[in-house]
Amino acid sequence: MIDEQLKHVKIDELIKYIKANRCILFLGPQAPTFNFGDDTDIWESHTDLYCSNLKKELISDKVVFDPDAGNNPYYLATKYIHRIDENNRFDVELRKEAEDKENEIFKKVYDRESDIYNELAVIPFNTIINFSFDDFMCRALKKGGYQFAYDFYNYNGTEPKILQVDDDMPLVYNLFGDATEDGKSRIKFERDQILFLRKINSTPSLPTRLKDRIKDESKSCIFLGFNFNEWPFRFLLDTLGVPRSELSLTLISDSASVAVMTYDFYNECFGIRFLKQSPNRFIYDLIKAYKASIVEHKYGYLSYDDANESTASTFSSYLKPHNLNRKRGIKFWDRSMVQSGVIKEQIKINLDKSTIYIPFLSNDFITNPDYEEEVNYIMSKKDVLIFPVIVRNCDWTNVFPTLDKRATIILPSKHTSLLNATNNYSATEEDYRRMLTIINTKIR
């Protein structure tokens, strides 16, 4: 049965989990991928489009296939590569030719951009588990200029991968392989699916760090684009270690047919509740609610002393063409922009209206009483995001003991030896671009 409680579940509850970095998105093969026209209720998944193209080819070649198989890509792709001659599975050249033609059909769908995923990328999910092999979400996150980690399961591998990613770093994980690599990890056909299911619970196993992210019961889970009647889905959720989370939900259309015992199973084992709503409409409602919940950043402030003017100036030169400035329209101010008049008044005006604060820390900066007062003032403001740049090693944690918890340090990286640098550090082009990516990610 449809869970009546979901009528009272507000999107605002999900937003709280998202903003606390405690929301996991599970993307299924039928997740909305492409919009058609201006109506957000008219959409198609990448799997449906791929299967539709395969069916056209099978019909054109007069190949008989089971119409009740629905949009099962493994079955249809297997029928397609065997369409010429049942024996071509044993003929290496014929099989390669058939697989190359299947790959052409595949690319027509998967080389496109997903307009829906591009919109969805604005939401900072802690983890995105993709039950497919596509790179739509990775491309969407890159296009948005967001920082994230990516990995995938390779059922043809021999050793489990070690996932090295911080818990607070957004992660995209492809469960069914990666089509952008050499293709060996992508699950294409029915035989691949069987081998994948056999191996995922043996060797290679899923990364421990991935399962640790998922098993946290305090997180919420959103399931988009799944056929809950398919038995492998139950098996994979158990393999991933999905718990009964505090708030887990999925979306089903009015035409979907799911047995009562299926509802009961997923609710009892994983705490999943079912909401009858268009998945695509839900996505846009969620995006709208999230955008309304965050601060709209219009002004930023760069703070530095004379010794670090060169570093701040170079940072500004990378900032000008960046999307923070050009696309988001955020105006950054620093004291080099002081006009004639009272300097302190101009500083106060620009400091007061800024919601992004970037201090360039060094010993000269932290020992200056004016800057110390400025940083403490900024930390007292609730809606200001702080991104310190440590250009020279100094005792900033003693002067600002709460800054580390209140701010996001964008230089140096946690994983570099620069934390112990004793001299001025000449940031590289990669450093500047990474700093801007971190800021862009944190303010979305």
Tens-level pLDDT at each residue, the chain (444 residues): 444 444 445 789 999 999 999 999 999 999 999 987 655 668 899 999 999 999 999 999 999 999 888 789 999 999 998 876 555 555 677 777 888 888 899 999 999 999 999 999 999 999 999 999 999 999 999 999 999 999 999 999 887 778 889 888 999 999 999 988 667 899 999 999 999 999 999 999 999 999 999 999 999 999 999 999 888 999 999 999 999 988 999 988 765 678 889 989 999 999 999 988 889 889 999 999 999 999 999 999 999 999 999 999 999 999 999 999 999 999 999 999 998 777 889 999 999 999 999 999 999 999 999 999 999 999 999 999 999 999 988 999 999 999 999 999 998 865 443 444 445 557 889 999 999 999 999 999
Helices (H), 297-390: 309-319, 323-326, 343-353, 363-366, 369-379
- How far, in Å, CA of 110 to CA of 50, rounded? 8
Structure tokens, 332:
């950054």
pTM value is 0.91
CATH topology agreement for domains 4-48+110-293 and 299-442:
yes
In CATH, the architecture of 4-48+110-293 is 3-Layer(aba) Sandwich (3.40)
Number of neighbours of residue 439 by Cβ within 10 angstroms: 24
Every domain of the chain and the residues it spans? 4-48+110-293, 299-442
Helix (H, G, I), strand (E, B) or coil at 375: helix
Sequence-ordered list of residues with C-beta below 8 angstroms from that of 81, at least 6 positions apart, any chain: 88, 89, 95, 98, 99, 102, 189
CATH number of 299-442: 3.40.50.10140
